[in-house]
A and B are shown apart, each in its own frame.
Chain A
Amino acid sequence: QKEVEQNSGPLSVPEGAIASLNCTYSDRGSQSFFWYRQYSGKSPELIMFIYSNGDKEDGRFTAQLNKASQYVSLLIRDSQPSDSATYLCAVSLVNNDMRFGAGTRLTVKP
């Protein structure tokens, strides 16, 4: 089992729709969870981080964390073509090492 798993996609949604990106992790001791956006040919850009169970909202983005289910998700409301990118889920291990998923490629169609 991979430490961090994401659906590779591609995930395609129409402009204005909600995009839902999912991530599961294996280390029950993980405490910190991050979502990064990576445009083709660019480096990852931090979108959100979440440490506690529940929802955290920032503009059009909502991160959801369920530690019991070892599941973290990212919702993008009112998706725009500029949101088209690969979204990376990152999880900290107990020893503070970081593990990234392989990413989900999102396409928002006008």
Chain B
Amino acid sequence: ETGVTQSPTHLIKTRGQQVTLRCSSQSGHNTVSWYQQALGQGPQFIFQYYREEENGRGNFPPRFSGLQFPNYSSELNVNALELDDSALYLCASSAGLAGSYEQYFGPGTRLTVT
């Protein structure tokens, strides 16, 4: 176990709705990164939060947004859900920026959009 937790485990939403996913980082880690993993694909980087500020973003539209709290836990918000948003959403925590420190993943949230 990595010490990174995510909630909920599974979620079913309808197209057009909004969703919030949550992640608690490992003790001592100040950075959380979010990834989307479609079936049969590698994780796609959404963004990372370092000390409560967004620091780096992948090719995802603005309807994907996030927050990091003073205890370094984080939320991923997705507005106006589309069918293609169905995927496993992973968060990973690290002791610093993801490119320079090892990342440890949580168990993921499986989102299904119908």
Query: Chain B interface secondary structure, helix, strand, loop or mixed?
Result: loop
What band does the interface of chain A fall in when counting residues whose beta carbon is under 8 Å from B?
20 to 34
A96 neighbours in B (Cβ, 8 Å): 48, 55-56, 97-100
B-contact 0/1 string along A1-44, CB 8 Å cutoff: 00010000000000000000000000000011010100000111
Closest beta carbon of chain A to B75's beta carbon, Å: 18
- From B45, B98, B105, A43 is in contact (CB under 8 Å) with B105
What band does the interface of chain B fall in when counting residues whose beta carbon is under 8 Å from A?
20 to 34
A-contact 0/1 string along B61-102, CB 8 Å cutoff: 000000000000000000000000000101000000111101
Closest beta carbon of chain A to B44's beta carbon, Å: 7
Decide if B102 touches A34 in the complex (CB within 8 Å). yes
Point out residues on B near A: beta carbons under 8 Å.
2, 33, 35, 40-45, 48, 55-58, 88, 90, 97-100, 102-108
